[in-house]
Structure 1
Amino acid sequence: MLSEKSRPLIEATLPLVGARMGAITPNFYSRMFAAHPELLDGLFSRANQNNGEQQKALAGSIAGFASALVANPDVVPEQMLSRISHKHTSLGITEDQYDIVYKYLFEAIAEELADVITSEIAGAWSEVYWLMANAMIKIEKGLYALQANDKMWMPWTVVEKNPAGTDCMTFVLEPADGTPVTAGRPGQYVSVKVALPDGLLQCRQYSLSADVESTTRRVFTTKRDDGGEVSPVLHNNVKVGDVIELSNPYGDLTLDGEGAIVLATAGIGCTPSASALRALATAGEDREVLVLHAEKNLEAWALREQMTTDVDAIDSATLQLWLEEPTDGFHKGFMTLDGLDIPTDASLYVCGPLPFMKAIRNQAIDAGIPAARIHYEVFGPDLWLAGAAS
C-alpha cells in the first residue's frame, strides 16, 4: 500500500511527472543501454525503441500505476500489472533486472526534474516504483512456477510453414529436445527468438493459433511487417527443418468459464480468438459463441478456413464478417456492434489495431456489457494503457 506520507506528494506531482515522462523514459533507456548494451540482444525490442512505442508504454504503465495508488492507496492494482508480468515472463525478465531499471530510471528522473525534485518527492516516487516492481516480481515468480520446466528458451523444429491469407504465414513446430513442454491455454502466446542479419538476437510474441493445449507441437500465425525486424526473418529466412527458440506460453487473455462469448477481431488480431474457437469446438462447447471479424477482403483473412470450420462445428456459434471491399453476403465497411443481439451475460474478447479495439470497447459498454467482462490483447507494447494515462 502507498504510505500516508507519500500519497499527497504523488498526488501533487503526478501531473508534472506524467507530463515529463515523454522526456524521462528516452533518457532512461539511453542510460541503461549505454551501461548494459547486452539488454538489447535478445530482450528489449530494438524496433520498439526506435519508433518510441516502448517509451510510451513504460510512461503509461508508471503513470497509470501511480494514479491507481492515489485513487486507492490501500490496494496494489495487481490485475492491472498482470498483462505486463505475462509479457515480462515471456521474455525471461529476472528479479535483479528491476534493480538495473531502478538505477537508470531514477537517474533520468533526477535529471529531467532537477528544477523541482526534492528528496521527499524522490522518496515518494521510489516507493511507487518498488510497490510496482515487487508486485510484478511476485506475479512473475508465480507464472514461472507454473511452467513444466525451469528454462527460458527451448529449441523447436519447424515442421510446417504454410501461407495463410495475405502476407501471413502459419508455422508448426515440434520439440527439438526432451525438455518438458508446458501446455498452453487458448489465447496465450509464446516469444520467438531469431537472429537478425546483423547478428542481433530479437524476440517477438506471437499468439498460438491452434493446438494450444498440445505438448508435442506449437502453432502460431504471423503477418509479415516489411518495416519490422523479426517477421521478415521468419517469413523469408526460416525454413522447414530449421530450429528456433521459443519461450513457454504466457498471456492472460483466456476464456472465462461461464456465459456467452463474443470474439471480436480485426486482421491478424484473429489469432488468439482462433485458438479459443478451436478449443471450444474441440470441447464440444454448448455456450453461445458470437464470432465477429473484420478484414480488408476475404483473401486477406489469415485463418479463414480454420475459423469457419470451427464455427460450423459449434451448434451455438454464429459468424458475422465485415469487409472493406464489398462482397455479397457480408457486412460492408468497418465492424460495428450496432444492431447485433449481444447476450446480457456475454464476455467480450477483442483483438486488433488499437483504434479498432477502443471503438468496439466503447460500443460494448454502450450495449450493456460491463467493463469487467471486456478483455483485450495488444500486440507489442501496451499503448492503450499509455493513452489512458496521458
Structure 2
Amino acid sequence: MTTSVLLAGGGTAGHVSPLLALADCLRRRDPATRITVLGTTEGLEARLVPAHGYELLTIPKVPMPRRPGPALVRLPGRLSSAVRAASDAVRTSEADVVVGFGGYVAAPAYLAARRRGVPIAVHEQNPLPGVANRLGARLTRFVATTFADTQLPHAVHTGMPLRQQISSLAGLSGAERAERRAAARAELGLDPDRQTLLVTGGSSGAQRLNETFGAAAPELRAAGVQVLHVSGLGKHVHVESAPDDGRDVGAPYVVLPYLDRMDEAYLAADLVVCRSGANTVCELATAGLPAAYVPLPIGNGEQRLNAEPVVAAGGGLLVDDAGCTPAWVREVLLPLLADSAALASMAQVATRFVVPDADERLADLVLAAAASRQS
C-alpha cells in the first residue's frame, strides 16, 4: 500500500532543508511514496520544493504574534482561513500522516490534521520549541527533536535530518576531501591553494556579516585569505578596495546571493563565519568545519543555545552580533586563520556532534505515525 505524506514547513532554509532531507529519505526507502509539501508562496519553499521534484500546495502565511497588538486581534480569522486551506491539502493529498517542521504553515497543518483524524508527527529543530511545535506536540505522541535536551512531550532525539549532499561529507577520506576541495574552489571561482573563509548569513542573509566583512575585505585579502561570501537573496555586500600600498591583494573575494549546493561551499572552506541556526550548526559539524558563530540578536535566544554545546566543547567560537566588527576580524579571526593546528583541533571536536542517520531515524518515526492510523 502506497503511503502519502504531507510535509508542512517553510519560510527559511532552517525549515525547508530538513523537510527536503526527510522527503528524499522516504523516497529512497520506497519510490512509490507520495510526497506533498505544504508551504506558502513567499518562502524559500516556493522555489526549492518544485526544483527538487516535489508537489507544493500553498496556504496563507500566518505569523504567530509574540506580544499583544493588532496582529493578535487578527490572528483568529487568519488562522481559520489557513486551517481551511490546510484541510483541503490534507484531503487532496490523501495524507496518511502530516509532518510539521514548525514555522508559519505548521500550526494550521496540525489543526487540519487533527480535524480530519490524520496522524501527526513533529520535528523541532531548536532547543527552545516554537509556538507551532508546542501545539503540535500536544496533539501527538510522535515528536522528534534535533537536540537531546529539548523539552517537548513524548520527545525522541533523532538529530537534524540533512540532505545526502551534506551528510555524505562525514564519510570522506582525507584524499577524497582534498580532491573535492580543489574542484569545489575552482567551481566557485576561488584559488585552489589559498586559505579560504566562508561567510554566510543563511538564505536570508545577515546585514551585520555583510557590512563587517565587506569592510574587512582589504585586510583579509592582504593576509592572503580568500573569501566566499553568501550574502543572502536580495542583499548587497560593498567590498572595500584595498589601499594602494603594494601589499598582495590577489586573494579573491567572491560574493554570491545564494547557493543551492552548500556542500561545495563547505568543501572549499577552512573556517566559517555564520549565524547559528540549528540546521547550520548541524551541517558544519557534519562537514567537520570549525566556525565562528554570530547568533541572531533577536527572538528568544535560540541561536545562541544552538551553538553553545559545540563552542563549549572547543569546536567553534561565539561572538555577539555587536562584537562582529572589522576590529574583531583583525584581532581574532585572522590569527585563527593562520593557526592550522587550532583549526584542525576545532574541526575534530565539531564532528562529535554529528548524528549521521538523523533522516533515517525521523523517517522511522513518521512511518510509525502513519501506521498508527490503521492500528
> Per residue, is there more strand in 1 or in 2?
1
Give the structure-2-normalised TM-score: 0.23
TM-score, normalised on structure 1? 0.22
